[in-house]
Structure 1
């Protein structure tokens, strides 16, 4: 029986983060895919407060929230670290991971779900958030520097899911205004562990097309 288990869904960008870091650190684990429309008793037992994935189980003890899981894995298995040792740089990584989850992701979701003036306002906010991320990449290959770190893993959805969103909503978001982000996406996608563990692009398109049609029914 493997000492490490990961509860996730096939398409969750939050569930991808621990997959990437477990693979980067060559840690064997058991993957348990959840159906969030009918949450398992195991998930509710392991994460009774939020009732969400991902949940990492290590020697029977559950850890939830994706960035918390990343930091736990990094501290428990020290090979191929994803956090710098310097406290200030570590705090910077944590800041940008939090920025992604609390500012950037909600703004792209608003663009995806809203219409009319609300969408225009959401698009303005999204562009401003992307500009801030672009500035942070000045002079760097990754958000961490020369190697990927927690912030890169948090932003990782941009490298694949943004193209899905763009295809579904019908217009480009990462364009010529964001050359550093575009370069970061290419560098991130070149990492074999990242490239080899994406969900099916076709299945993602089908999923988000159906979601989009729910938010924007034909009148």
Structure 2
């Protein structure tokens, strides 16, 4: 009987050990399969950073005096055969060494006061040009257009000579009031008008200025290269 009791006790002990082992394995599996606290807690994504506003353009100094003296003769300028013709653009940007000068332009009717505008580059959107034709009146002629949204670029030694222009300046995207400029204006008035559209201000200022709804009564325009939209032909 004692041997049988020993065997029974031994079997019971082994059974207890086996059950304990199984319980430990189940507990281990339970721990491993339990989702982590990070997985259970779904944090919302951080809010996007707000867009920083662009830096405001520098202000034109009140005491900035414009030099209306031309920098030198325009190389390759051809004699004017007729009067002015009209150039229009929805948007005009002049970039690099922008300057306006008051000159006397030779015409078939004799010298006339004119405004000369120089820059390294001119970018015009929706360019329209009305070329004069024989017998046409001051507002007559043939129109050539690039079309809305099309960009024309004149690069290198850009020069334009006009008798007058009217534009709406826009500073850092904010439009101002329409501004007429005429070669017959007094020099002080011309200087004030030129500052408003960046003609003659430092590049740090003129790069922030653009002209919208521009109409220019033009004697002469020239640049090293002219890039027109594909399929467009304008005889500037």
Q: Which has the higher strand share?
A: 2
Q: Which has the higher helix share?
A: 1
Give the TM-score of the pair, scaled to structure 2: 0.22
Give the TM-score of the pair, scaled to structure 1: 0.23
- When Rg is computed on C-alpha atoms for both structures, the one with the higher figure is 2
